[in-house]
Amino acid sequence: MGYGYEFMTLVNADVHHNLFIGNNYAAVARTHVLSGPDRVIEAKRVTNLYDNYYYINAADLQLPSAGGGKWTNVQCTDIEDMVDEKILPRAENNLRMAENDAALDAFDQDYLTGVANLKVISSSQSFNRNSASNQFRAATGQNMQGSETRRVSMYGNRYNFDKALRLFGAKANYGAQKP
């Protein structure tokens, strides 16, 4: 789904000492929140996010917006200041990885460049308000339908397995380590 990690309801979690790199939706999502009569359960939930590094993510932390229906995207450097202590009691030391960090040398640079420069190559839409199916849907109070196709410069490209093994221990004490 484009997340590095997603906090789930009814689960307490400490997320720490990770490298969140190249997530196309959000590095971390704290979007599932119980409300209404389940607010009591939500109040007991403990979720912490601390001592992590972030690099080229669409968003570093995603939260539900106060008005509902949308998301609030928070950059890693703002997590501690912007997030309520009830949501993330511990949220310190979330850092942006420097462009010249040695750990980035372990990554396939061509792959990272492809992710960072993703482009829509072609896009097509098809919607006919007067088609038989849309006329029927309109008459019965249903939403009309159409279709859209988008082709992007990098889709479903697998990360090279041999290069993935170089990521273990790329940054001491952060992310996966060699035994």
* Separation of CA 59 from chain center: 6
pLDDT at 159: 86
Query: Across the chain, what does the average pLDDT equal?
Result: 91
Q: Which of 111-115, 136-140, 144-148, 164-168 has the lowest mean pLDDT?
A: 111-115
**pTM as predicted:** 0.76
pLDDT at 142: 96
Domain locations in the chain as residue ranges: 3-96, 102-165
Going from the C-alpha of 30 to that of each of 15, 48, 57, 107, 150, the distances in angstroms are 11, 10, 15, 27, 29
Q: Binning pLDDT at 50, 70 and 90, where does residue 161 land? A: very high
Share of residues in the chain with pLDDT > 90 (%): 62
pLDDT at 1: 66
Q: State the Cα–Cα distance between residues 165 and 176, nearest whole angstrom.
A: 10
Average pLDDT over every residue of 42-70:
90
The answer to whether the Cα torsion of 87, 16, 168, 77 is positive or negative is positive
Average pLDDT over every residue of 100-123:
87
Average pLDDT over every residue of 113-137:
91
* Separation of CA 136 from chain center: 39
Average pLDDT over every residue of 125-141:
95
Q: Are strands 71-74 and 61-64 parallel, antiparallel or unpaired?
A: antiparallel
pLDDT at 154: 83
Q: State the Cα–Cα distance between residues 111 and 160, nearest whole angstrom.
A: 9
DSSP 6-41: E--TT--EEEES-EEE--SSEEEE------GGGHHH
pLDDT at 4: 94
Q: Binning pLDDT at 50, 70 and 90, where does residue 17 land? A: very high
For residue 114, is pLDDT > 80? yes
Higher pLDDT, 104 or 68: 104
Higher pLDDT, 86 or 47: 47
